[in-house]
A and B are shown apart, each in its own frame.
Chain A
Amino acid sequence: MESYSTEKSIPKRKIGECSYHLCDKKQVELFKCDHCKDYFCKEHFDARIPMLAPFKSTDIDIQLEWEKKGGHPCIPYVYYAVKKEEELKIEREHIYYGKKLHVDILEPEPEIKTKLPEIPDSTVKETPNNTNFGIPKKQITATEKDSHEEIAKKIDSLFEEPVKKESKVEKYEPGSIEPESEEKQIEENIIKYIEKKQGDSNQPILPKSENPEASQKILEPVVSTENNAEEKTVSASSEYLIPKNNISFVNRGLILKIIGVFLVILLLFSLWLLYTHVIEINNRYSELSEANENLDEITNQLDFVNGEISSTEASLQTMYSNVQLLKSGNKYDLHDPTYSEVIDFLNKDKTNSNTYNPSSYTCAYFSKDVNNNAESKGVRCAYVELSYPSIGHAIVAFETTDKGLVYFEPQHDVRASVEVGKKFYSCLAQLPGYLPWEAPDYDDTIQEIKRFW
């Protein structure tokens, strides 16, 4: 691979990342491409003619060349290839004429005045014609100098018109082709050239631009190089006219911009998603807290209600038992009788026929039996205790509805009109057919009357 390097200060090797965009090697030994000046790993060091999408060519040679492994697509390499093809073409054409003319004579080089790099080599000497062409010619030996000057003069005389045309272009006057439009033109020409190469590769076709001057600029640096390839000198004008890695940089920049915009949009979208998720999580958390609170509350209420149910059931059970017990018990409905009802009851009651016994059946027994018998008949009756000074006595009483409270001596069924302070025997009613009641041998003066209903 021939090198056209003019940046001698840049080292040809270094350690770093391969500039080939499909290579992911990092921190490897890199080699500088002489055409594009970028650094590549050993695998991608070789320069290759780039191909446009869809990376297919009808030319089998180009296709095979493209499908070779290794190397990197190199735009400046295109110029080199063009130049080589042109040289071959010229050689083929002049074989029949027996003489090979210098390429500078056939196609005069345009004059480039701007941004010529200074070449520190003091041995390099520019001729007046070189200034017109803008091509520093390096490493020219002294013996060749005269012959070269003569040839240059001839070239000047032969190509006076083209040089003038070129000088007009290179001035960049207002109205002429601007550097930016030139760059665009260059890009278009290169793209057309590559497309052409891919489409029809039987013969190398030089780019045909609508602006011949611009296309001339593309090709001139290559053509105007010193014919002697072994001297490996290149016109400094190529630095200016053909931006190094211009198209790849533009495309890559555009791609990076697109990717960047896409990533920023994706970033914003991700942030928005996160934001919505955070809000949703907060909502869910609140909802869960609320659900937990509700659940706790419901659980507490349920426990309380269950407790209430248990206690109520116990109460109900007790109450039900009590009700059943009360229902099973006897009911006693009493009434205050009429006087005639009392008389009737006493006539029917046979307690008075019992025999008095001072040790086993006394007045208390008579009264108890009449009282209990009366109440068993529903007649409300009272057991009455009469207190005498030394002993006492027991009788019964009824609260009649017509004659009020009436007392009866149950041993004889005799009504007694008892009053405190009276002798009891004097309170007894006279029985028809019987003698009046006699006073007992003890004091029966009534001191107190107690009624037990």
Chain B
Amino acid sequence: MKKKISTKILVGITALVIFLLMLYYGEENIIKSFNSEISSRSLELSTKTDELNSARDNLSLISANLQENISEYNELKSGDKYHLHDPIYEELLNFIENDYSSNDREVIDNAKSQGIRCAYVMVYVGGLTISSMDGSVSSSIGGGMHTLVGFNTVDQGMIYFETGTDYQVIPIVGQDYTDCVVGNPYMSGIFDNITDILVIW
């Protein structure tokens, strides 16, 4: 009886050992899998880190270049009433957006104080002129002058604005002034045909 129990115990221990060894083998595979995955992750991490460092270097380079360009841009656009430049359209829009002056003279002074070359513009519109028989002017209906500010942008040419409304105007001699205002905010008038445009820098 004792012998059989011992044998059973030994068989049990053997089975347990085999089971443990199988577990060990399974765990060995798990560890190998883990090691493989860790190696893969490490490699990927190393690659990503290199890529990140490279990207950071690139970003630093681009940022430095951008900073240099910004400095140059600021230097180019900087100025005062003695040092003027023709603005780019984006710069002009930015100026108009941030300027709250109500009349032409103030707008021109503000623009020139920032180094932006600005013109005082007179748009003559012809009214109905009634002449006498001898040719002398006796009377007229309508006519007169619209005043604007103008900028000779380097990218889009001359740009005109009404200072009171900030409406952009594209004055063309021979056309009605109201039709030349962008967006047609005004009702069509009579006797407001543009006859001449004076740009005074």
Contact = CB atoms under 8 A, between A and B. Distances in A.
B95 interface: no
Given A294-B45, A316-B62, A383-B120, A323 B76 contact: yes
Interface stretch (B13-21, B159-167, B174-182, B185-193): B13-21
Q: Which of A256, A285, A329, A367 has most B Cβ within 10 Å?
A: A329
Q: Is the interface of A mostly helix, strand, loop or mixed?
A: helix
B76 A327 contact: yes
A256 B10 contact: yes
A320 B68 CA distance: 10
A422 B48 CA distance: 82
B17 A266 contact: yes
Nearest to A259: B10
Contacts of B91: 322
B70 interface: yes
Interface stretch (A141-149, A205-213, A299-307): A299-307
B38 A291 contact: yes
Contact of A319 (B45, B51, B70, B117): B70
A140 interface: no
A270 interface: yes
A358 B124 CA distance: 13
Interface residues of B, number: 69
B59 A298 contact: no
A35 B63 CA distance: 103
B132 to A, nearest CB: 15
A372 B121 CA distance: 12
Interface in B37-80: 37-38, 41-42, 44-45, 48-49, 51-52, 55-56, 58-59, 62-63, 65-66, 69-70, 72-73, 76-77
Nearest to B129: A359
A439 interface: no
Interface stretch (A81-89, A273-281, A346-354, A430-438): A273-281
Counting chain A CB atoms within 10 Å of each CB, the highest count among B23, B69, B77 belongs to B69
Interface stretch (A1-9, A191-199, A330-338): A330-338
A315 B154 contact: no
Interface residues of A, number: 69
Contacts of B31: 277, 280-281, 284
A267 B13 contact: yes
Interface in A352-376: 358, 360, 364-365, 367-368, 371-372, 375
Given A325-B88, A326-B88, A267 B10 contact: no
Given A331-B83, A331-B85, A375-B201, A260 B45 contact: no
A277 B34 contact: no
Given A271-B20, A327-B76, 11 more contacts: A267-B13, A284-B35, A291-B38, A302-B48, A302-B55, A313-B62, A315-B66, A323-B73, A325-B154, A326-B77, A368-B200
Q: Closest 7 CB pairs between A and B?
A: A329-B154, A270-B20, A284-B34, A326-B76, A291-B41, A332-B84, A319-B69
Interface of A: 249, 252-253, 256, 259-260, 263-264, 266-267, 270-271, 273-274, 277-278, 280-281, 284-285, 287-288, 291-292, 294-295, 298-299, 301-302, 305-306, 308-309, 312-313, 315-316, 319-320, 322-323, 325-336, 358, 360, 364-365, 367-368, 371-372, 375, 380, 383, 450-453
